[in-house]
Structure 1
């Protein structure tokens, strides 16, 4: 199943007939399962760093914005702002080679710019994206760790067939580590906004993207890498929108004994084992991909929990209670469950505004079919296969979750 087939072109948007009710979801605190608006994720969550930031790729052209030099008493770094972000200028040439032409936004770790390669060789892209890591010790160290992973991924994919954004080179400029990548057209968050706001994309497009995502995950697994931040913002597509690449390896790590933290992965895409404080491995990325595929097809966030506690409640609303053996192993289980392993929902008292814990028992699982109804024109067999794939991805127990090889041979992906 390691075969790579270039995707033929396809349209991503559903037909206007299906756009019957595109009223925007209000972002209330108690949003139901499968009904979240993508806008309701707050950006103050830890570990959020999109390679293309919050602003749509390629929209913010030269003009006002981040491209200012900041005066500073220390002459050595008067080109940095107070937080260590580089204050670039449009038209500035980095490393005597890359001319900055546009802003791609800002993340926790870096600023990303689009640049013209003035020394391009034949076969090389004329435009690149450059991630300028913030100038401080922690960020620089994180950047070096990302670099090790990028080199491993690109070295193991010499023919550029594994659907990970192409890492081209690295250099140091004015005390900033800079990472150079191929520049792609837009991310899937923007594709959803443009073509599938609140109604999602065609199932044929979702299938093509799913296959390419699973090829990327297989490559990561072969290289022993966990992405740890898969979400629509971190998937880029080309101008024809038929080729997808996974990007932003700023939170990626090698599989093995990793630090237990309840804030790894952007919250809506965060697997239950992370929230409960269990050891984690490749299944955490499979869970995130499942969340993304649901969102691509429906235009809605599957688990729009404003807190980790809400996320667990929504996970159980879909799949029923957690296996007791999972709960017994979790380092953070006692934050969300009582001694008898009953779930304690943390809610706000409407009068006092204080947090109160409410015992919730007998949570019944939902049939995934009730969340995915299918759209006019979709092949019923493909819809049934999609539901089956989703059921197998969303196992609460990571050991029972569909693995990437099983995903690539699933009828939804193979069409058989």
Structure 2
């Protein structure tokens, strides 16, 4: 019995284990079905292969229908877009009827876009639709570009309206009338010949109005008058012969006075507002100077008359042969002029400065370039009064007078008087004596260093008056030298505490007159004159009247 019982127990235990394994396998199969990426096709009981094939064909037909419906919807979208464009074009065409003035022009109409001529797009192929749409788009783009490019020229828009058809001719005619009053353009619909109105943006107009429209050909890009030999100016009174020179404010020509049968010089001011005003100021100053010297014996150039030519203010002067710079290059390069010429030129220059002081005028640009001599080289005259001013009109500015001839009070911003002309005259006399420039600083700062090398340190009583003193001196009144670093190439500032005199005018003059027939006393007198004219304090500087009384000038008169 025991054996029998054991057999039964083994059988049931094996059966339970088999049932558990089957159950586990069913659970695993369910799990695998859930995790499967491709679910099995549903099993339809009682369906054959033929039925499945029919279902497949029906599904294909449904897909084709869906595709056809999609293409139809695209065609509908295209048609709607075309219709909206046509509507816009017709609206723009209607808006052109409301044309009012040049600023309200809207050239947006097209040919053959009226509702009667619009085709039935339902009867067109897609390719025809695309071509028509593209043509309309290109036409519209082209007209818009023309409108945007030429809105600043309303007369061109009027012409475009005229070419666009008879519909808009009346509106274009009205626009032309309005534009004629607004912008003074020519009426394109009148029977008169097209003749553009004269326009010029020069300050004043020339008497010769027939050719004033050619203003662009008269001037260069900087406003200087283009000189042409043989030009007739001032109602054919003067004939241009040659160009003498060009400066900041003007160019100067040599001309023939056909009425007086003599040579003259014409200063042609640059064509802009600032230069024109400067020219008018120069005319006023020259008239004051010439009125104070009716006999023309104090060596300031004489203004004969003035006139306008093609937008340029022209000043007519007596003719001179060359400037002092050319004389020095030709006769005194590196050694200077002879003592007789030096004495005569110095005296005449000082007489001109004395006349200016009498009238109350500061020339403010004395240098060899602005001094003229006649053909015989015996008469000198001061010219170019473009920077000149009344004594009560001067203002501190660090760049008045050409740099090599600029007085220290100008650089420091100290109120100046006639002494600045005396300083410039001293630099010019030294240059006539030696053939070399006295001070050659590359900047205002370097010019001050040159002054102190010759005259010593500038006194504190002078510096405290300077408006621009802090640019060159510190709070201890030590000089701040601006120099370029040798290694980096950058500007650096060096404080100079000790100023030592390293130049002597006497040595320069002796070297220049080494081989000349001149006494030691004459050289000493010239050195003394220059030393007194180059005093750092402008108020202590020798006046032009005292300079004329100096032994160097008086000795030349006795000889």
TM-score over 0.5 for the pair: yes
Question: SS of 2:398's equivalent?
Answer: coil
Match of 1:261 among 388, 392, 397: 397
The corresponding residue for 1:144 is: 280
Distance, in Å, in 2 between the alignment partners of 1:161 and 1:231 is 20
The corresponding residue for 1:328 is: 464
Distance, in Å, in 1 between the alignment partners of 2:353 and 2:318 is 19
Please list, as runs of the form range in 1=range in 2, the aligned pairs for 1:376-387 lying within 5 A after superposition.
376=515, 377-387=517-527
Preserved CA contact (<8 Å) 1:256 1:281: no
Superposition deviation, residue 192 in structure 1: 0.7
Distance, in Å, in 1 between the alignment partners of 2:354 and 2:412 is 26
Distance, in Å, in 2 between the alignment partners of 1:336 and 1:74 is 52
Deviation beyond 6 Å, 4+ runs, structure 1: none
- Confirm whether residue 274 of structure 1 aligns to residue 413 of structure 2: no
TM-score under structure 1 length normalisation = 0.80
The corresponding residue for 1:111 is: 251
Match of 2:221 among 54, 79, 82: 82
Distance, in Å, in 2 between the alignment partners of 1:90 and 1:76 is 18
Distance, in Å, in 2 between the alignment partners of 1:86 and 1:368 is 43
Please list, as runs of the form range in 1=range in 2, the aligned pairs for 1:287-366 lying within 5 A after superposition.
287-365=423-501, 366=503
Structure 2 residues not aligned, in runs of 5+: 1-211
The corresponding residue for 2:351 is: 215
Preserved CA contact (<8 Å) 2:506 2:523: no
Superposition deviation, residue 173 in structure 1: 1.1
The corresponding residue for 2:337 is: 201
The corresponding residue for 2:374 is: 238
Distance, in Å, in 1 between the alignment partners of 2:459 and 2:303 is 41
The corresponding residue for 2:147 is: none
The corresponding residue for 2:506 is: 369
The one-character-per-residue Cα deviations of 1:103-146 (angstroms, maximum 9, x if unpaired) are 0121111111100000117xxxx111100001110100010011
What RMSD, in angstroms, separates the aligned Cα atoms of the two structures? 1.6
- Confirm whether residue 390 of structure 1 aligns to residue 530 of structure 2: yes
- Confirm whether residue 92 of structure 1 aligns to residue 243 of structure 2: no
Preserved CA contact (<8 Å) 1:303 1:311: yes
Q: CA, structure 1 residues 81+74, in 2 after alignment: closer, same or farther (shift >3 Å)?
A: farther
Superposition deviation, residue 77 in structure 1: 4.3
Question: SS of 1:88's equivalent?
Answer: coil
Q: Between Structure 1 and Structure 2, how many residues are aligned?
A: 341
Superposition deviation, residue 370 in structure 1: 2.5
Where relative contact order (Cα < 8 A, 6+ residues apart) is larger, the structure is 1
The corresponding residue for 1:102 is: 242
Preserved CA contact (<8 Å) 2:227 2:243: no
- Confirm whether residue 408 of structure 1 aligns to residue 548 of structure 2: yes
- Confirm whether residue 165 of structure 1 aligns to residue 301 of structure 2: yes
Question: SS of 1:170's equivalent?
Answer: strand
Question: SS of 1:78's equivalent?
Answer: helix
TM-score under structure 2 length normalisation = 0.60
Distance, in Å, in 2 between the alignment partners of 1:75 and 1:139 is 21
Distance, in Å, in 1 between the alignment partners of 2:371 and 2:247 is 15
Q: CA, structure 1 residues 170+197, in 2 after alignment: closer, same or farther (shift >3 Å)?
A: same
Higher percent of residues as helix: 2
Superposition deviation, residue 86 in structure 1: 1.2
Superposition deviation, residue 367 in structure 1: 4.1
